[in-house]
Amino acid sequence: MEEDLVALVQDDFSTLPVIEISMGRWHSHFARAVKRLGGVTIDLYRSGELVGQSVVYRLDLGSRVLGVIYYIAILPRYRGRGYGRVLLASAEEVLSMRGVDYFVATISGDNSPSIALFQSMGYSVYSWGEVSKVCGYRAMETLRMETCGYEDDLIAIKKDSGDADLREVCNADGKKARKWWREACLKPWLIIRGSAMAGDQS
Ligand SMILES: CC(C)(COP(=O)(O)OP(=O)(O)OC[C@H]1O[C@@H](n2cnc3c(N)ncnc32)[C@H](O)[C@@H]1OP(=O)(O)O)[C@@H](O)C(=O)NCCC(=O)NCCS
């Protein structure tokens, strides 16, 4: 690609314009919540203009370390030009440098562009039912907590190096995963709901 594309890692989550435009304020609120838990943003610039954003985090709760691609979005007018692939490759590189075994992302079953993007980058895509069959229900729930994936039906998985083994991915500490989920997913949800229970969940 000959265009002037630059991906920059940053930890300023004060505005996440591409995620907000692409997915709405609700999602940008959830994306912001992982900043205090070690998440980072990768901004993709084309000739100085911000065209894409991804929010990722690293999670070490078991015998493997997950690199979670929590959000990835390209501005609508720039889609279909290969920028999503460039941004995903950059997100993987950032996570890889932080030391992860697997890249994972949850996807809604009706989001065909996103499913195709991850598949085109070598990910295997599973339904939660398939994960449950291979790993068992509790392990599937643990993975759903680690990825904040309750709204989505699918999980995309790729090993940083070598072939992915779903059973390996399922191997995490359920108690720690629940604690993570409360901080990263439940609390932001309660805040958005304006619930007074927010402080009582940890
Ligand atoms: C998903 C998204 C990031 C893809 O970005 P993009 O820049 O359009 O993707 P690319 O141009 O790099 O395309 C990469 C591959 O994805 C697939 N793809 C992209 N857009 C597609 C579409 N509209 N329909 C089907 N497949 C599509 C293709 O397989 C493509 O490979 P190809 O060009 O060799 O055919 C973009 O559509 C987006 O921002 N969507 C809204 C936010 C979102 O849903 N994010 C994912 C959930 S967090």
Q: 158: buried, middle or exposed (CB in 10 Å: 19+, 13-18, 0-12)? A: buried
Q: What is the pTM of this model?
A: 0.93
For residue 96, what are its two tokens? Answer: 């890889």
- How does the average pLDDT of the chain come out, rounded? 92
The minimum-distance atom of ligand 1 relative to the CA of 111 is 44
For residue 172, what are its two tokens? Answer: 């995490």
**Percent of all residues in the chain with a pLDDT value above 70, rounded to a whole number:** 95
What is the best residue among 43, 79, 121 to mutate for testing ligand 1's pocket, by most ligand atoms within 8 Å of CB?
79
Whether the per-residue pLDDT at 174 is higher than 80: the answer is yes
Smallest Cα–Cα separation from 74: which of 93, 64, 88, 59? 88
Q: 57 with 37: CB under 8 angstroms? A: yes
- CB distance 81 to ligand 1 below 6 Å: yes
> For residue 181, what pLDDT band results from cuts at 50, 70 and 90?
very high
> For residue 13, what pLDDT band results from cuts at 50, 70 and 90?
confident
- CB distance 111 to ligand 1 below 6 Å: yes
**Percent of all residues in the chain with a pLDDT value above 90, rounded to a whole number:** 81
Q: What structural domains does the chain harbor?
A: 5-197 (3.40.630.30)
Tell me how many degrees the CA angle 135-89-147 measures, rounded to the nearest 5.
35
Tell me how many degrees the CA angle 150-156-161 measures, rounded to the nearest 5.
135
Q: 152 with 23: CB under 8 angstroms? A: no
For ligand 1, the distance from its centroid to the CA atom of residue 62, given in whole angstroms, is: 31
Q: What is the mean pLDDT of residues 180-184?
A: 94
| Other Cβ atoms within 10 Å of 184 Cβ, number | 23
| Protein residue whose Cα sits closest to atom 19 of ligand 1 | 113
What is the structure's pLDDT at 196?
43
For residue 138, what are its two tokens? Answer: 């509790």
| Protein residue whose Cα sits closest to atom 18 of ligand 1 | 113
- CB distance 17 to ligand 1 below 6 Å: no
Q: What is the mean pLDDT of residues 94-123?
A: 97
